[in-house]
Amino acid sequence: MRQTREFLRSQGLPAEDAPITSTKRFPDGAQYRVEIPSTEGPEVLDAVLAEADARQVLVHRISQGSGGMLLTDDELDAMASTAAGRSIELSLFARPLAGWDTSPMATASAGGAVAAQARGAEQLVHVLEDIRRTADAGIRSVLVTDLGVLKVASAMRTAGDLPPDMQFKISVQMGLANPASVRIAEELGADTYNVPTDLSIGQLAAIRAATDLPLDIYVEAPDDMGGFVRHFEIADIVRVAAPVYVKFGLRNAPNIYPSGSHLTPTAVALGRERVRRAQLGLDMLRRYAPDATASDLPAEGLAVPAAG
């Protein structure tokens, strides 16, 4: 394997999975930030922030999975205003995708990878329209799963069709899992990359060596993404993957996408528990890596919504 490893090194790529300490940082010098996912609407956002205040959990980023398309104009405005007032990032999923479409392959036993792709030219248009509407509401971050969507949306940002400060947060559903692949996403315009939930510490370190993108890493993963609870690894995750968004999903929780008012009480309860899980994880991080540094708010590079 020597020749292959040497060629990888010649391309600036790591040739093995080794748990090397990262010296890379966020612009403010911090190693980590905190993300609470699946915050599905204004009521859930308010509950998550209230819980964070009560537990003294500093939240840097809020993300959502149902997409801007399933929020009314007033709901978009309310979420953008709340996030802007707290100087936190708000990232909405770019929808729709094949998994919500009429695609039988997306639900077939061998077709799971198709579910997160934009299916056909019309759906490509629909996803880009959702991004455009989200941007018009002042929101400056969207979750992207499809490489084609990423490439075109990045071109729109360069051309001025999207705001120059719009950020593309790559969803875990894109699934790229090695240093060369993640570098492609960076070259296409990604601003952060959510790696698959099951990567080892060494595999995370290898990806970190190949990219300067902040990595988004589930400390606890939803059941349909593996259900891993990695709290005891959080110190090593921060050490090898910095700059990193530690992301607190929730095991033993229902998948509520697409969400709506019929699920608001459930979504609120799940959001509050994710913050509790974040408190547990951050307490463990401070116990095993007391010198690890987090960003203060406001933080440079966060895609905080534009003031309305």
DSSP string covering 22-62:
P----TTS-SEEEEE----SHHHHHHHHHHHHHHT----EE
Neighbours of 13 (CB within 10 A): 17
Q: Which of 63, 38, 143 is nearest to 96 (CA)?
A: 143
- Residue 62 phi, psi (nearest 5): -115, 130
Q: Would you state the pLDDT for residue 308?
A: 56
| Domain map (residue ranges) of the chain | 30-288
Produce one character per residue of 101-115: b if its CB has 16 or more CB atoms within 10 Å, e if not. Answer: bebeebeeeeeeebb
Q: What is the pLDDT of residue 191?
A: 98
Cis peptide before 258 (omega within 30 of 0): yes
Largest CA distance in the chain: 59
Tens-binned pLDDT, residue by residue, of the chain (308 aa)? 999 999 999 999 999 999 999 999 999 999 999 999 999 999 999 999 999 999 999 999 999 999 999 999 999 999 999 999 999 999 999 999 999 999 989 888 777 779 999 999 999 999 999 999 999 999 999 999 999 999 999 999 999 999 999 999 999 999 999 999 999 999 999 999 999 999 999 999 999 999 999 999 999 999 999 999 999 999 999 999 999 999 999 999 999 999 999 999 999 999 999 999 999 999 999 999 999 999 999 999 999 999 65
Q: What is the CATH number of domain 30-288?
A: 3.20.20.70
Tell me if 297 sits within 8 A of 34, measured CB to CB: no
Find the helix or strand (DSSP H, E) in which 152 lies: helix 147-159
pLDDT value of residue 18 = 94
pLDDT given at position 108: 87
